[in-house]
Amino acid sequence: MRSSAGLVCASFAGLFITSIISAQTLSNQSLSGKFFFRYVSIGSDSSGNATDPRSLLGTITFDGSGNYSFTGQQVMGGGAAASATGTGAYSVDPAGDVTMDSPIRTGDKVNARLSVEALIGSGTETTDNTFDMLVAIPAPTAAAILTGPYWVVTLEFPGGSVANARNAFFSLNSAGIGQLAAMSVYGHAATLMSGAPTTQQVTGATYSFASDGTGTLAFGTASTSALLSGGKNVYLSADGNVLIGGSTTAGSHDMMIGVKALTNPTASSWNGTMWTSGLRYESATGQPAWLEHTGSLAARVAGSTTIYQRLKALGAGTTDFTAVNPYALNTGGSPTGSLTVELSQVGLGAGGTFVEAAIDPTDPGGFEIDFGAPVTALSGGGVFLNPQGVASAASFAPAGNPISPGEFIALFGTGLAKSNQTAAPPYPATLNGVTVLIDGKAAPIYFVSAGQINCLVPYSTAGATATIQVQNSGANSNTVTVPVAATSPGIYSLDQSGTGAGAIEHASGAVVNAANPAVAGETVVVFLTGMGAVTPTIADGTSSTGNPQHQTTLPTVYVADQQATVNFSGLTPGFPGLYQLNVVIPLSLSSTGNFPLAIGTANAFHDQVYVVVQ
């Protein structure tokens, strides 16, 4: 084990998350009024069979005080649609995280996120074998008109059976009042070509819309051997940017989501931070049969996005998942914002929305849709800590990623300090008149400025959530609540963005990069944070001397999807809060290039950087 930490200790102060400050923080009052909603919930057995599918479509009204009521059409199993009404409770935190009672399963909760465009979520925190997706959109208060085009995705389980699963992506546009333009539907179905992607031409489709935003779409006679067929009840959002829908015929369990397509997008059109939610069925042998997630996506650099997902998988429970996904703008035939993200199809929508369908020739058994809507930008006076601005100081995974004991975190806001100041180890509890309280305990501080603080999470931090408050020269900030996990791994990157080439050294201390790559069989040192508790324990804010070695449980590390040997995981001597992994590059790695380096712990999976190997 080595003591060098030069790769990452020089410039924490240069790490920032860009955001647009334009609104207040959120509360129950932020969610009020009439919404249209579609909710699909699949109860599964341990083998992934849909044993208890339920779907609900209608209107839901939030009172702004934590209560809602709904009315709509409900389909249970293979039965016919029936009228349904009900009530429930909800809670909105300042960041836009929403916990609400499931409108279809008594006792279950939906883990949701609130955007100006939609309320979206899934049941990631339930412990039963149910997997679901909720999308609710503000209802129009004036006459609604369907004016396209829209990028639309569908996920369907006709008859409530996974054997009939189908997934589609297409552009929907009016060809005149009541008529839809011809559509080329791209997708796959379990009943067609063994799930291989194919294209269906749809002509003669019709629509009708009432002025209140409710309507129908008709795609011909319903058939389980088609990508898209039958009728859908649909709803249009107040600003016209989003449409949702589904079928209420007997045994129908489907989700349709559309976003008004961008006009003439460029490679940088996908930008900002979005809340996301998705539902997936996977029939491939040896993989989880059901997945659902609620999370966030940050598109900060053209051609790449960083995602955080609170992910629930059948038989595997919940995982905090962070990753980087490259994408390419499809040109020639997709001038309105179609993207390809790792063989998924993505449609960019107005207002910062997007839809995604997983249609992958290499994974014919995977059926998935995802929806994203922009986070609400937050602001405040005086000493203001942004509720969406608590991040790993290494990975900068977007909002919602938990903090963990001993982790180096970055806090963003305004009025956080009167001037810039940096501390030397051991890090003090107060720096330049600034104190950070995490669950009431002063956190060791490395750097302060008006817009950013870098500090360490006290090792005693425990429980499902923690509160964070900043005190600046006697003035208190708002209190922010964030999730807590045993680990939240984040590897530092050479450009300090959290992505790209990882902060990795040879045993000699030389940086691993294109000019000095690693080789198969070599042991390299990977620098990171968020690995949690260490043994033996160490005082907050102090650095390890290397004797004794303060170690963590060994994680699983993958290089180019091949498991690597990890010889050490623990604190790097000389720098508080900095962890290192001593990793052997797999000998079986026969090619050269930039290979993803990913880490898995008992509760998290992190895949944002690469290592250069030749």
SS (H, E, C) 30-68: HCEEEEEEEEEEEEECCCCCEEEEEEEEEEEEEECCCEE
Confidence of residue 267 (pLDDT cuts 50, 70, 90): confident
Q: pLDDT tens across 495-554, in order?
A: 999 999 999 999 999 999 999 999 999 999 999 999 999 999 999 999 999 999 999 999
Q: pLDDT tens across 127-185, in order?
A: 999 999 999 999 998 888 888 899 999 999 999 999 999 999 999 999 988 999 999 99
ω into residue 555 within 30 of 0, thus cis? Answer: no
What is the C-alpha separation between 267 and 500, in angstroms, rounded?
A: 19
- Whether pLDDT at 223 is above 90: no
What is the C-alpha separation between 389 and 153, in angstroms, rounded?
A: 31
Find the radius of gyration of the CA atoms of the chain. Answer: 25
- Whether pLDDT at 19 is above 90: no
What is the C-alpha separation between 368 and 387, in angstroms, rounded?
A: 30
pTM comes to: 0.94
pLDDT, position 21: 33
Beta carbons within 8 Å of 547's beta carbon, 6+ residues apart: none
Looking only at Cα atoms, what is the longest distance across the chain? 77
User: Average per-residue pLDDT in the chain?
Assistant: 92
Q: pLDDT tens across 459-502, in order?
A: 999 999 999 999 999 999 999 999 999 999 999 999 999 999 99
What is the C-alpha separation between 386 and 398, in angstroms, rounded?
A: 13
Strand order in the sheet with 384-392: 384-392, 408-414, 452-456, 445-448, 421-422
DSSP 245-303: EE--STT--EEEEEEEBPSS--TT-S-EEEEEEEEEEE-STTS-SEEEEEEEEEEEETT
- Whether pLDDT at 11 is above 90: no
Domains and CATH numbers, the chain: 12-21+379-483 (2.60.40.10), 489-613 (2.60.40)
Say what percent of the chain tops pLDDT 70.
93
Encoded amino acid at 349, one letter: G
